[in-house]
Structure 1
Amino acid sequence: MTSDITITKEETATGGRYVAVVSGHEAEMTFSRVNPELVIVDHTGVPDALRGRGVGQALALHAVEDARAGGWKIIPLCPFMRAQSLRHQDWADVVQQN
Protein backbone atom coordinates (compact mmCIF):
# COMPACT_ATOMS: atom_id res chain seq x y z
CA MET A 1 0.00 0.00 0.00
CA THR A 2 1.20 3.48 -0.83
CA SER A 3 1.73 5.68 2.21
CA ASP A 4 2.23 8.91 0.25
CA ILE A 5 -1.39 9.28 -0.85
CA THR A 6 -2.83 12.75 -0.46
CA ILE A 7 -6.59 12.98 -0.91
CA THR A 8 -8.47 16.20 -1.53
CA LYS A 9 -12.20 16.82 -1.78
CA GLU A 10 -13.86 18.87 -4.48
CA GLU A 11 -17.49 19.64 -3.74
CA THR A 12 -20.36 21.17 -5.69
CA ALA A 13 -23.98 21.82 -4.73
CA THR A 14 -25.01 18.38 -5.98
CA GLY A 15 -21.98 16.21 -5.25
CA GLY A 16 -18.28 16.12 -5.84
CA ARG A 17 -15.26 13.89 -5.79
CA TYR A 18 -12.32 12.75 -3.74
CA VAL A 19 -9.06 13.00 -5.66
CA ALA A 20 -5.80 11.19 -4.96
CA VAL A 21 -2.67 12.21 -6.83
CA VAL A 22 0.15 9.67 -6.62
CA SER A 23 3.34 9.79 -8.68
CA GLY A 24 1.73 12.28 -11.07
CA HIS A 25 -1.36 10.11 -11.66
CA GLU A 26 -4.86 11.05 -10.57
CA ALA A 27 -7.45 8.65 -9.14
CA GLU A 28 -10.96 9.68 -8.15
CA MET A 29 -14.09 8.62 -6.34
CA THR A 30 -17.20 10.59 -7.32
CA PHE A 31 -20.35 11.08 -5.31
CA SER A 32 -23.78 12.69 -5.57
CA ARG A 33 -25.46 14.33 -2.60
CA VAL A 34 -29.07 13.18 -2.18
CA ASN A 35 -29.64 15.35 0.90
CA PRO A 36 -27.56 16.56 3.88
CA GLU A 37 -27.71 13.07 5.43
CA LEU A 38 -27.04 10.91 2.35
CA VAL A 39 -24.49 10.62 -0.46
CA ILE A 40 -24.24 8.10 -3.29
CA VAL A 41 -20.74 6.97 -4.25
CA ASP A 42 -21.21 6.28 -7.95
CA HIS A 43 -17.74 5.85 -9.47
CA THR A 44 -14.17 5.00 -8.55
CA GLY A 45 -11.49 5.45 -11.19
CA VAL A 46 -7.91 4.38 -10.65
CA PRO A 47 -5.49 4.52 -13.61
CA ASP A 48 -3.60 1.34 -14.50
CA ALA A 49 -0.34 2.93 -13.32
CA LEU A 50 -1.70 3.01 -9.77
CA ARG A 51 -3.47 -0.35 -9.62
CA GLY A 52 -2.45 -2.61 -6.76
CA ARG A 53 -1.07 0.26 -4.68
CA GLY A 54 -4.04 0.71 -2.35
CA VAL A 55 -5.22 3.97 -3.90
CA GLY A 56 -8.84 2.86 -4.38
CA GLN A 57 -8.89 1.52 -0.83
CA ALA A 58 -7.52 4.84 0.47
CA LEU A 59 -10.26 6.73 -1.40
CA ALA A 60 -12.95 4.44 0.04
CA LEU A 61 -11.63 4.79 3.58
CA HIS A 62 -11.44 8.57 3.16
CA ALA A 63 -15.11 8.66 2.06
CA VAL A 64 -16.10 6.59 5.11
CA GLU A 65 -14.13 8.81 7.49
CA ASP A 66 -15.61 11.93 5.85
CA ALA A 67 -19.13 10.52 6.28
CA ARG A 68 -18.48 9.76 9.94
CA ALA A 69 -17.11 13.27 10.54
CA GLY A 70 -19.96 14.90 8.60
CA GLY A 71 -22.77 12.76 10.01
CA TRP A 72 -24.09 11.31 6.75
CA LYS A 73 -24.59 7.86 5.24
CA ILE A 74 -23.18 6.43 2.00
CA ILE A 75 -25.05 4.37 -0.58
CA PRO A 76 -22.33 2.44 -2.47
CA LEU A 77 -23.63 2.22 -6.06
CA CYS A 78 -20.09 2.03 -7.43
CA PRO A 79 -19.11 -1.68 -7.70
CA PHE A 80 -15.69 -1.05 -6.12
CA MET A 81 -17.12 0.86 -3.15
CA ARG A 82 -19.84 -1.75 -2.73
CA ALA A 83 -17.26 -4.56 -2.67
CA GLN A 84 -15.11 -2.68 -0.17
CA SER A 85 -18.07 -1.97 2.09
CA LEU A 86 -19.02 -5.65 2.13
CA ARG A 87 -15.44 -6.54 3.17
CA HIS A 88 -15.41 -3.93 5.93
CA GLN A 89 -18.22 -4.63 8.36
CA ASP A 90 -16.77 -1.89 10.58
CA TRP A 91 -18.09 0.61 8.00
CA ALA A 92 -21.71 -0.46 8.61
CA ASP A 93 -22.31 2.63 10.76
CA VAL A 94 -22.11 4.86 7.66
CA VAL A 95 -22.62 2.54 4.67
CA GLN A 96 -26.21 1.82 3.77
CA GLN A 97 -26.55 -1.36 1.69
CA ASN A 98 -29.50 -1.21 -0.69
Structure 2
Amino acid sequence: MVNHDIKLSEQDHKGRAYLEIDGQTRAEMTYSLAGSKLLIIDHTEVDESLQGQGVGRKLLDKVIELVRERKLKVLPLCPYAKAQFEKDENIQDVLRGK
Protein backbone atom coordinates (compact mmCIF):
# COMPACT_ATOMS: atom_id res chain seq x y z
CA MET A 1 0.00 0.00 0.00
CA VAL A 2 1.31 3.42 -0.91
CA ASN A 3 1.93 5.57 2.14
CA HIS A 4 1.47 9.01 0.63
CA ASP A 5 -1.15 11.60 1.47
CA ILE A 6 -4.08 12.07 -0.86
CA LYS A 7 -4.71 15.78 -1.40
CA LEU A 8 -7.77 17.70 -2.55
CA SER A 9 -7.84 20.66 -4.91
CA GLU A 10 -10.86 22.67 -6.06
CA GLN A 11 -11.33 25.56 -8.43
CA ASP A 12 -14.70 26.95 -9.43
CA HIS A 13 -17.01 23.92 -9.70
CA LYS A 14 -14.30 21.35 -10.49
CA GLY A 15 -12.08 19.42 -8.14
CA ARG A 16 -9.81 16.46 -7.74
CA ALA A 17 -8.35 14.11 -5.21
CA TYR A 18 -4.79 13.33 -6.19
CA LEU A 19 -1.53 11.69 -5.20
CA GLU A 20 1.78 13.34 -6.01
CA ILE A 21 5.10 11.53 -5.85
CA ASP A 22 8.29 13.49 -6.48
CA GLY A 23 6.26 16.45 -7.78
CA GLN A 24 4.37 14.36 -10.33
CA THR A 25 0.66 13.55 -10.18
CA ARG A 26 0.55 9.74 -10.16
CA ALA A 27 -3.13 9.21 -9.44
CA GLU A 28 -6.25 11.35 -9.52
CA MET A 29 -10.01 11.26 -9.26
CA THR A 30 -11.77 14.24 -10.81
CA TYR A 31 -15.19 15.55 -9.89
CA SER A 32 -17.62 18.36 -10.60
CA LEU A 33 -19.92 20.13 -8.20
CA ALA A 34 -23.46 20.42 -9.55
CA GLY A 35 -25.34 22.96 -7.48
CA SER A 36 -24.98 22.95 -3.72
CA LYS A 37 -25.90 19.32 -3.03
CA LEU A 38 -24.37 17.05 -5.69
CA LEU A 39 -20.83 15.92 -6.49
CA ILE A 40 -20.30 14.06 -9.77
CA ILE A 41 -17.26 11.78 -9.96
CA ASP A 42 -16.06 12.03 -13.57
CA HIS A 43 -12.85 10.05 -13.88
CA THR A 44 -10.24 8.03 -12.01
CA GLU A 45 -6.72 7.42 -13.24
CA VAL A 46 -3.88 5.63 -11.44
CA ASP A 47 -0.33 5.38 -12.77
CA GLU A 48 0.50 1.87 -13.95
CA SER A 49 3.27 1.58 -11.33
CA LEU A 50 0.71 2.05 -8.53
CA GLN A 51 -2.09 -0.16 -9.80
CA GLY A 52 -3.22 -2.97 -7.53
CA GLN A 53 -2.16 -1.11 -4.37
CA GLY A 54 -5.52 0.35 -3.36
CA VAL A 55 -4.69 3.87 -4.53
CA GLY A 56 -7.95 4.30 -6.46
CA ARG A 57 -9.92 3.40 -3.35
CA LYS A 58 -7.88 5.85 -1.25
CA LEU A 59 -8.82 8.58 -3.74
CA LEU A 60 -12.48 7.60 -3.47
CA ASP A 61 -12.33 7.53 0.33
CA LYS A 62 -10.92 11.07 0.35
CA VAL A 63 -13.75 12.30 -1.88
CA ILE A 64 -16.34 10.51 0.30
CA GLU A 65 -14.86 12.19 3.38
CA LEU A 66 -15.38 15.57 1.68
CA VAL A 67 -18.92 14.62 0.63
CA ARG A 68 -19.87 13.66 4.18
CA GLU A 69 -18.37 16.85 5.64
CA ARG A 70 -20.38 18.99 3.22
CA LYS A 71 -23.51 16.83 3.39
CA LEU A 72 -23.51 16.25 -0.36
CA LYS A 73 -24.67 13.33 -2.47
CA VAL A 74 -22.62 11.54 -5.13
CA LEU A 75 -23.36 10.62 -8.73
CA PRO A 76 -20.54 8.26 -9.85
CA LEU A 77 -20.23 8.50 -13.64
CA CYS A 78 -16.71 7.08 -13.55
CA PRO A 79 -16.85 3.28 -14.06
CA TYR A 80 -14.32 2.65 -11.27
CA ALA A 81 -16.20 4.74 -8.71
CA LYS A 82 -19.52 3.26 -9.79
CA ALA A 83 -18.18 -0.28 -9.29
CA GLN A 84 -16.86 0.61 -5.83
CA PHE A 85 -20.25 1.98 -4.77
CA GLU A 86 -21.96 -1.18 -6.04
CA LYS A 87 -19.57 -3.42 -4.04
CA ASP A 88 -19.41 -1.53 -0.74
CA GLU A 89 -22.60 -0.96 1.26
CA ASN A 90 -20.67 1.20 3.75
CA ILE A 91 -20.42 4.07 1.26
CA GLN A 92 -23.82 3.79 -0.40
CA ASP A 93 -25.34 6.29 2.06
CA VAL A 94 -23.82 9.15 0.04
CA LEU A 95 -25.25 8.02 -3.31
CA ARG A 96 -27.80 10.27 -4.93
CA GLY A 97 -31.26 8.84 -4.36
CA LYS A 98 -30.35 7.18 -1.05
Answer whether TM exceeds 0.5 for this pair. yes
CA offsets, 1:37-81, max 9 Å, x none?
101001000010110111001001111111011110110000000
- Residue 25 of structure 1 deviates from its aligned partner by 5.4
- 4+ runs of 1 displaced by more than 4 Å? 22-25
Counterparts of residues 4-83 of structure 1 (less than 5 Å): 4-22=3-21, 26-83=26-83
Distance 1:76 1:68 in 2: 15
SS in 1 for 2:64: helix
Coordinate RMSD, CA, aligned: 1.6
When the two structures are superposed, what TM-score results if normalisation uses the length of structure 1? 0.89
Letter in 2 for 1:12: Q
- Give structure 2 stretches of 5+ with no counterpart: none
When the two structures are superposed, what TM-score results if normalisation uses the length of structure 2? 0.89
Partner of 1:91 in structure 2?
A: 91
Distance 1:18 1:72 in 2: 16
Letter in 1 for 2:93: D
- Give structure 1 stretches of 5+ with no counterpart: none
- Residue 21 of structure 1 deviates from its aligned partner by 2.4
Distance 1:13 1:43 in 2: 18
